[in-house]
Amino acid sequence: MAYSIEPIGIIHSPYKEKFAVPRQPGLVPSANCEIVLQGLANSLEAVRSIEQFSHVWLLFLFDQNLEAGWRPTVRPPRLGGNERIGVFASRATFRPNGIGMSAVKLKGVRHHNGQVIIEIGGADLVDGTPIIDIKPYIPYSDSLPDALGGFASEQPPTLTVEFSLNAQQQLSGKQADYHHAVITEVLAQDPRPAYKKGKSDNKTYAVNLFDFNVQFTVSEPVITVISIDTINQ
């Protein structure tokens, strides 16, 4: 039996491509995102009392991966990208139904010209990702202190992020501090492929965040931002 799912909204985030997205929610707490509700879900009645909760669960579609299909086993970056495990023992983005879920901080709800917008923080979703459901995070049932995290039981180590003088000069304006914080937190997670880590790396990388193309180099344990160029819209 087949079922159809209709998105209830779209998220707007700083992450303009998959390469920029942190591998788990909450790793970039400074990132502000918005969910723009749509269709019948675009109603103040639908979000009545939601602000009683500090966090919510987002269910969403890995829409950029759906056409690629899936396989029973995956190679998680956390295991170096070499060891295979079952797809259901991972949070891989290539899944049978392409559904993801993230617990995120709820920052508020606003209503403007008939549009309901939910403000959240710490999300790990590409800009434009379809949201298929929102549920409140319930601490007494959703937080399980005795749970085992398997191969991902601890948060991965982070790298130190430094900005060249050129990059510092390019990052200006009233949101400069916010952009600086998000870029720092994203790059500290080391978005490079797992096989690159722990090895000499002379490559210059680029990632699109906000309206910027951020170029950086890596000499572990330091990532150096060398330029921040505005992307022509």
Residue among 35, 33, 41, 36 nearest 6 (CA)? 41
CATH for the stretch 160-230:
3.30.2310.20
Residue 139 DSSP symbol: H
Is the CATH number 2.40.30.70 carried by domain 9-142? yes
Asked if residue 96 lies in contact with residue 74, where contact means CB atoms within 8 angstroms, the answer is no
Residue 55 pairs in a beta bridge with 105
| CA-closest candidate to residue 215, choices 193, 180, 187 | 187
Say what the pLDDT of residue 79 is.
87
Give the global pTM.
0.92
CATH 2.40.30.70 segments of the chain: 9-142
Q: Which of these, 101, 106, 87, 103, lies nearest to 129 by C-alpha position? A: 101
Question: What is the C-alpha radius of gyration for the chain, rounded to an integer number of angstroms?
Answer: 19
- pLDDT digit of tens for each residue in the chain (233 aa)? 889 999 999 999 999 999 989 989 999 999 999 999 999 999 999 999 999 999 999 999 999 988 899 999 999 888 888 899 999 999 999 999 999 999 999 999 999 999 999 999 999 999 999 999 999 999 999 999 999 999 888 888 899 999 999 999 999 888 999 999 999 999 999 999 888 888 889 999 999 999 999 999 999 999 999 999 998 75
Q: 72 is written with which tokens?
A: 């029973």
> Angle CA(77)–CA(79)–CA(85) in degrees, nearest 5?
95
Q: What are the helix (H) ranges across the chain?
A: 139-142, 165-170, 176-188
Tally DSSP H helices, then E strands, for the chain.
Answer: 3, 12
What distance in Å separates the CA atoms of residue 18 and residue 9, rounded to the nearest whole number? Answer: 19
d(CA 149, CA 95) in angstroms, rounded, equals: 20
Contacts of range 169-175, beta carbons closer than 8 Å, 24 or more positions apart: 170/227, 170/228, 170/229, 171/228
In which residue are the tokens 């510092």 written? 168
DSSP 94-111: --SS-EEEEEEEEEEEEE
CA distance 137 to 142: 7
Query: Both ends of the chain: CA-CA distance in Å?
Result: 43
d(CA 220, CA 200): 8
Question: What secondary structure letter does DSSP report for 65?
Answer: T
